[in-house]
């Protein structure tokens, strides 16, 4: 309808309007076909480029980016800045009413979801005027031979987008020391540097594409990798949060391995490049390929002599990297090549822990030592318990994992209790987990669950015989842990199970002071009703009244006075003067 209204608006005389009304298209397909046929022949390739960008780019495209892409000549594989459109708005003229501008800038980062208005048209998001435009272009319903050139096909579009990115990046001659400045001058740079790998990977999965292979070789291998380095300064696919940490000698092999470009790796291996050179987020090329599951690259590197047990990087070794990614085929290749199944190192401590953390049951079934120590959670059973991976916990227990092995967070039961994984807790208890084990940051399982405020887990532990007054951890006991978090129902459960309202110890000294520090009036009232002593002088802030008077958590001195008064206390002094001799039930002195 909008397209037809545009046509009618152009009629400046009644006679012309009547004639046009008689000749209006019979349906939407006919409307779109007529608009396409009105695109000048010399600009039809430009229009096709814009349509492919809008339909198949990995994120929304701005008008300026589309205009810049139109200046890339894929027949000559060059980008000529002098061949740009006179104005970015020329894209709107070429594509007529099939495209439109939004008032918003495209969201260029998945981490930034804020919608931003744009003052400049070149920075505004370009879209199809209606979803039916894209549907028509992808439908192959074009009846006229001339309009069929606009038909959108995903594989052809990916080939074009791959080449647009590579040709654009290859055409940048200067070394970019300050990418933001370069991106202001080169509108398509940010997109090309971010998304060239995805577009190229799509095309290479289709099979041999000689022209793309030539461009990829020039980009990765030509001019000592300077073109690749420029792109990496804008976006590093190895680690998006840091600049590349790869030496020039390793650059091409590392990124070709990471991104799965087998033929590039084959060319580099033939040049006797150092296969085990250290660098990058994953430590070396073999680890990068292993983590991404690039099986053909892993096979090539191993055959060429890469050290299967080379250490370094985030995961420590290639086997741990592949295990974390859940790539069973790569894990098998590495094991056949002599990878040490229980090698230590890396963020997760071992390959089995990495697999467990990633919830990769198939990898866990391979022959690993279930009690291998190391990593953030000390052992693999704790990693699986923390992640809630029930099947993996079963496998590990069946393989002989030590259910009571200790770590910085205590044992596996404490970890599972803190994360609220009831079924895993039942498995661990059935396997002989010590219910009241006193170790680690949490102190014990009941304290861990109470601190989190998980009523069902606390109930399960109490029913299983947990010691409600067991001491340990940073909060001293379960009641104090629940009180400082304001978990009223858990506090009730614990008190009903016999928790001492006046138990001393822990960071806050007692449960009442923990509740006061957290600003939890309901819990304060509950504890006072259960006989909590306001006089107790434990913790680092004196007694309860001093905590109330000196805190800024929403509990005022007057609020606590009111509570005490309702319960029969008669405090007589200011919070700084309060002492056991002037705070007692019923008034008077002790």
State both tokens at 233: 């300064």
Whether residue 461 lies inside any domain: the answer is no
Whether residue 187 lies inside any domain: the answer is no
**pLDDT higher than threshold 60 for residue 548:** no
Residues 70-94: b if buried by 16+ CB within 10 A, e if exposed: bbbebeebebeeeeebeebebbbeb
Token pair 């990798």: residue = 225
Whether residue 274 lies inside any domain: the answer is no
Please give the model's pTM, rounded to 2 decimal places: 0.68
pLDDT of residue 500: 92
Whether residue 360 lies inside any domain: the answer is no
In angstroms, the first-to-last Cα distance of the chain is 88
pLDDT of residue 555: 46
pLDDT of residue 577: 43
pLDDT band at 456 (very low <50, low <70, confident <90, very high): very high
Candidate from 185-189, 198-202, 313-317, 423-427 with smallest mean pLDDT: 313-317
State both tokens at 187: 């509108």
Average pLDDT of the residues in 449-460: 92
Q: Is-contact 54 128, C-beta < 8 A?
A: yes
Cα 483 → chain centroid:
33
Q: How far is CA 392 from CA 97, 328, 329, 398, 434, in A?
A: 56, 15, 19, 10, 20
Write out pLDDT tens, residues 11-40: 778 888 777 776 666 678 888 888 999 999
Cα–Cα distance measured from residue 322 to residue 320, given in angstroms and rounded to the nearest whole number: 6
In this structure, the chain runs to a length of 590
**pLDDT higher than threshold 50 for residue 436:** yes
Q: What 3-state DSSP class applies to 415?
A: helix
DSSP 509: B
Write out pLDDT tens, residues 307-361: 999 988 888 888 888 888 878 888 889 888 988 876 666 666 566 666 655 555 5
Mean predicted lDDT score pLDDT of the chain: 82
Q: How far is CA 103 from CA 85, 100, 106, 124, 471, in A?
A: 22, 10, 10, 6, 61
Average pLDDT of the residues in 520-532: 88
DSSP collapsed to 3 states, 138-168: CCCCCCCHHHHHHCCCHHHHHHHHHHHHHHH
**pLDDT higher than threshold 70 for residue 516:** yes
Cα–Cα distance measured from residue 196 to residue 362, given in angstroms and rounded to the nearest whole number: 32
State both tokens at 40: 């000048």
pLDDT of residue 166: 97
Number of domains in the chain: 1
**Strands, E assignment, 31-185:** 61-62, 72-73, 78-79, 99-101, 125-128
Cα–Cα distance measured from residue 461 to residue 426, given in angstroms and rounded to the nearest whole number: 10
Whether residue 574 lies inside any domain: the answer is no
Whether residue 7 lies inside any domain: the answer is yes
pLDDT band at 505 (very low <50, low <70, confident <90, very high): confident
Token pair 């805190």: residue = 551
Whether residue 578 lies inside any domain: the answer is no
Write out pLDDT tens, residues 125-147: 999 999 999 999 998 887 676 77
**pLDDT higher than threshold 70 for residue 586:** no
DSSP collapsed to 3 states, 422-455: HHHHHHHHHCCCCCCCCECCCECHHHHHHHHCCH
Whether residue 95 lies inside any domain: the answer is yes
* Residue, of 74 and 589, whose pLDDT is higher: 74
Write out pLDDT tens, residues 379-432: 778 878 887 878 888 888 887 888 888 877 788 999 999 999 999 999 999 999
pLDDT of residue 579: 40
Q: How far is CA 11 from CA 5, 16, 19, 23, 100, in A?
A: 10, 6, 10, 13, 22
Domain that holds residue 147: 2-109+116-152
**pLDDT higher than threshold 90 for residue 489:** yes
297-302 contacts, C-beta under 8 A, 24 or more apart: 297/256, 297/257, 297/260, 297/261, 297/262, 297/265, 298/322, 298/330, 298/333, 298/334, 299/333, 300/262, 300/265, 300/266, 300/269, 301/257, 301/265, 301/269, 301/275, 302/333, 302/334, 302/337
């Amino acid at each position: 309808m909008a397209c037809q209204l545009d046509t009618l608006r152009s009629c400046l005389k009644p006679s012309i309007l009547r004639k046009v009304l008689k000749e209006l298209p019979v349906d939407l397909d006919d409307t779109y076909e007529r608009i396409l046929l009105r695109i000048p022949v010399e600009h039809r390739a430009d229009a096709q480029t814009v349509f492919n960008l809008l339909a198949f780019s990995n994120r929304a495209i701005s008008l300026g980016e589309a205009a810049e892409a139109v200046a890339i000549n894929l027949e000559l594989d060059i980008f000529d800045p002098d061949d740009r459109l006179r104005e970015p708005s020329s894209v709107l003229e070429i594509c007529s009413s099939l495209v439109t501008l939004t008032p918003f800038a495209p969201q260029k980062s998945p981490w930034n979801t804020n919608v931003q208005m744009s003052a400049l048209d070149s920075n505004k998001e370009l879209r199809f005027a209606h979803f039916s435009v894209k549907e028509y272009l992808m439908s192959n319903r074009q009846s006229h031979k001339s309009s069929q050139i606009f038909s959108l096909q995903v594989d052809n579009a990916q080939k074009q987008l791959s080449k647009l990115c590579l040709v654009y990046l290859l055409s940048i001659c200067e070394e970019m020391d300050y990418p933001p400045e370069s991106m202001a001058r080169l509108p398509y740079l940010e997109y090309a540097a971010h998304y060239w790998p995805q577009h190229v990977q799509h095309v290479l999965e289709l099979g041999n594409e000689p022209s793309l292979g030539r461009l990829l070789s020039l980009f990765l291998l030509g001019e000592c990798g300077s073109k690749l380095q420029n792109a990496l300064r804008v976006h590093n696919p190895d680690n998006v949060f840091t600049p590349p940490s790869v030496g020039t000698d390793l650059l091409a092999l590392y990124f070709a391995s990471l991104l799965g470009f087998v033929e590039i790796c084959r060319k580099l291996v033939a040049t006797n490049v150092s296969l085990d050179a250290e660098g990058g987020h994953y430590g070396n090329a073999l680890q990068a390929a292993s983590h991404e599951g690039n099986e053909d690259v892993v096979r090539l590197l191993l055959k060429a002599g890469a050290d299967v047990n080379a250490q370094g990087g985030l995961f420590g070794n290639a086997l741990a990297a592949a295990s974390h990614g859940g790539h069973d085929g790569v894990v098998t290749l590495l094991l056949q090549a002599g990878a040490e199944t229980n090698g230590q190192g890396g963020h997760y401590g071992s390959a089995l822990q990495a697999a467990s953390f990633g919830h990769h049951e198939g990898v866990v079934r391979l022959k690993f030592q279930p009690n291998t120590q190391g990593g953030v959670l000390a052992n693999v059973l704790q990693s699986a318990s923390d992640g809630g991976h029930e099947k993996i916990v079963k496998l590990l227990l069946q393989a002989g994992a030590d259910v009571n092995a200790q770590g910085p967070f205590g044992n596996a039961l404490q970890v599972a209790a803190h994360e609220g994984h009831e079924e895993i807790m039942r498995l661990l208890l059935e396997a002989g987990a010590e219910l009241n084990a006193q170790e680690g940051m949490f102190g014990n399982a009941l304290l861990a669950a109470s601190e989190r405020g998980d009523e069902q887990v606390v109930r399960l532990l109490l029913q299983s015989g947990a010691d409600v007054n067991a001491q340990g951890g940073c909060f001293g006991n379960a009641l104090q842990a629940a009180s400082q978090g304001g978990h009223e129902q858990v506090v009730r459960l614990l008190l009903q199970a016999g928790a001492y309202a006046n138990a001393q110890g822990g960071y806050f000294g007692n449960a009442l002071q923990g509740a006061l520090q957290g600003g939890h009036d309901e819990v304060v009232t509950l504890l006072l009703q259960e006989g909590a002593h306001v006089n107790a002088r434990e913790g680092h802030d004196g007694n309860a009244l001093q905590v109330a008077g000196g805190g800024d958590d929403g509990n005022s001195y007057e609020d606590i006075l009111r509570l005490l008064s309702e319960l029969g206390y008669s405090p007589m002094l200011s919070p700084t003067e309060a002492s056991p001799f002037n705070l007692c039930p019923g008034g008077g002195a002790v």
